[in-house]
Amino acid sequence: MAAGSGEAAERPYELVVFGASGFTGQFVVEEVARTASGGELRGPLRWAVAGRSRNKLQEVLERAAERLGKTALGPEVGVLLCDVGDPASLAAMAKQTRVVLNCVGPYRFFGEPVVKACVENGASCIDISGEPQFLEGMYLKYNEKAAEKKVYVIGSCGFDSIPADMGVLYTRDKLKGTLTAVESFLTVKTGPEGSCIHDGTWKSAVYGLADQDNLKALRKKIGYSPVPVVGAKLKRRGLVFYSQEFKQYSIPFMGSDVSVVKRSQRYLHSQLQETPVQYGAYVTVGGLGSVMKLMFAGILFLLLVKFSFGRKLLTKYPEFFSAGRFTKKGPTQKQMDGTSFTMTFFGEGYSEGQDPQSGKPNVKICTQVKGPEPGYVATPIAMVQAAVALLEDSAHLPKEGGVYSPGAAFSKTKLIDRLSKRGVEFSVISQPEV
């Protein structure tokens, strides 16, 4: 790994996983260990785990070694003790590394101290937050400071929202002509054991939906420039609709994908003069029975989330209110092994030489991002490869440091190739001619 300035050269680690013994953190540690020993990097990776308990951190390293079929992960892997409630310990961690992988959520409660410590102490920071309010709040507060310090703060580098954000860019790069609009459909396949998601993600959703009004206020404060609509305007679909392509019902995707893609498109348009792409995100839910169940759960959720006692109920009994989709234990290994996702992108645009400002779109393209279980297999892969791109493709990052969405930070790097090699695969399904 090429060391940057003299200051970076003195840092003992290139990468630290913070919150390494948490539910998601343990899988990120395993993925870092796998990447460090995989021989794809330009040099040895110096890395460490960080968290509150030395014993738990040691256990996580032992478990990762065992999963990789090794006796141990070598003495070169550091163990740092720090606590999100202790700013001095966070500063000490940030001073020792070039990049922090922050796995401690919900980020709306625990994220900012880590960003602050990283920016003030010259480390870049990557998280896997799907919480637009946190992501955009950090942009408002730290974008200028991060630029001054020449560091990158890149949020939503997990399943939220790397497949969507990089998928739109991949679709754009594969279309001969100008891509102007894309819709994505997420399908999650599960095995006989079913699947579930750990409680942490559920909490983020509960608090995020409760706080929609503040997100609007925050966006006003940032004062985003509007992104121009180029090409035919993309129609918004209803709350539930039947998708001919998949022969099942679909609903709008509730995650951060649309807001993250929009931030990337705004950046690429305003900074690099690229044609902005309109985007809509959906998820397939199956037949009518599934739709009814979801509608019932959704209405209950939206009613309860507005009141503090309702939020207490929702966070205390995640399994009951999510019909078993979210649990305090998280998924078993068998459930994860049996689960995978496909995100299909339907793009339209204008062939070379056609003016996207006039007439109807005359080219279409269909692409896919396919990967393993989203929450704890694909997310660590996305996060770790984002870190590798940050360290190894540094010449192709935006010239200025700052707070970025993945597409804005990584559009010129080799991130898509790196992901494809690790099993999050991007491909073109069809490209009808004009």
CA dihedral 134→138→141→145, nearest 10 degrees, is: 170
Instruction: Give all strands of the β-sheet with 363-372 in edge-to-edge order.
Output: 241-243, 248-252, 278-286, 178-189, 340-350, 363-372, 425-430
Residue 117 corresponds to which amino acid? A
pLDDT digits 0-9 by tens, 302-344? 899 889 999 999 999 999 888 888 898 999 999 999 999 999 9
What domain range is 52 assigned to? 13-154
Residues 116 and 222 in one domain: no
Both tokens assigned to 22: 């948490």
The reported pTM is 0.94
- pLDDT at position 3: 42
- pLDDT at position 4: 44
CA dihedral 242→244→247→250, nearest 10 degrees, is: -40
Last residue of a domain, one of 126, 154, 182: 154
**Is 396 domain-assigned?**
no
Q: Which long-range contacts (CB under 8 A, 24 or more apart) does 242-248 make?
A: 243/185, 243/282, 243/284, 245/185, 245/344, 245/346, 246/185, 246/187, 246/284, 248/284, 248/285, 248/286, 248/287
**Is 364 domain-assigned?**
yes
**Is 263 domain-assigned?**
yes
Last residue of a domain, one of 154, 180, 215: 154
Q: Which residue has the tokens 């992501």?
A: 135
Residues 294 and 314 in one domain: yes
- pLDDT at position 51: 97
**Is 272 domain-assigned?**
yes
Q: What is the mean pLDDT of the chain?
A: 93
**Among residues 36, 19, 217, 51, which one has the least CA distance to residue 128?**
19
Residues 317 and 207 in one domain: yes
CATH code at position 246: 3.30.360
387 vs 248: CA distance, rounded Å: 37
pLDDT over 90 (residue 144): yes
Q: Which residue has the tokens 């922090």?
A: 100
90 vs 409: CA distance, rounded Å: 24
- pLDDT at position 324: 85
**Is 401 domain-assigned?**
no
Cβ(348)–Cβ(363) under 8 Å?
A: yes
Both tokens assigned to 249: 């019902």
- pLDDT at position 194: 87
Residues 107 and 217 in one domain: no
**Is 324 domain-assigned?**
yes
Residues 260 and 135 in one domain: no
Both tokens assigned to 402: 């700052």
**Is 344 domain-assigned?**
yes
Residues 21 and 81 in one domain: yes
Residues 166 and 134 in one domain: no
CATH code at position 105: 3.40.50.720
CA distances 374 to 106, 139, 248, 343, Å, are: 18, 26, 21, 11
pLDDT digits 0-9 by tens, 84-124? 999 999 999 999 999 999 999 999 999 999 999 999 999 99
The larger pLDDT score, comparing residue 204 to residue 146, is at: 146
**Among residues 82, 76, 88, 91, which one has the least CA distance to residue 43?**
76
Cβ(135)–Cβ(51) under 8 Å?
A: no
13 vs 261: CA distance, rounded Å: 31
Last residue of a domain, one of 122, 154, 186: 154
The DSSP 8-state label assigned to residue 237 in this structure reads P
Using the CB atoms, write b or e for 154-185: b if 16+ within 10 Å: bbbbbbbbbbbbbbbbbbbebbebbbbbbbbb
User: Positive or negative, the Cα torsion across 264, 268, 270, 276?
Assistant: negative
pLDDT over 90 (residue 434): no
Residues 44 and 176 in one domain: no
**Is 379 domain-assigned?**
no
Residues 167 and 244 in one domain: yes
Give the helix ranges, DSSP H, for 186-283. 199-210, 212-222, 257-272
CA distances 271 to 154, 275, 394, Å, are: 17, 11, 18
How many domains would you assign to the chain? 2
pLDDT digits 0-9 by tens, 176-200? 999 999 999 999 999 888 888 888 8
Residues 173 and 294 in one domain: yes
- Specify the DSSP element, H or E, that contains 391: helix 379-392
Residues 294 and 340 in one domain: yes
Contacting residues for 313 by C-beta, under 8 A, at least 6 apart: 304, 321
pLDDT digits 0-9 by tens, 404-418? 999 999 999 999 999
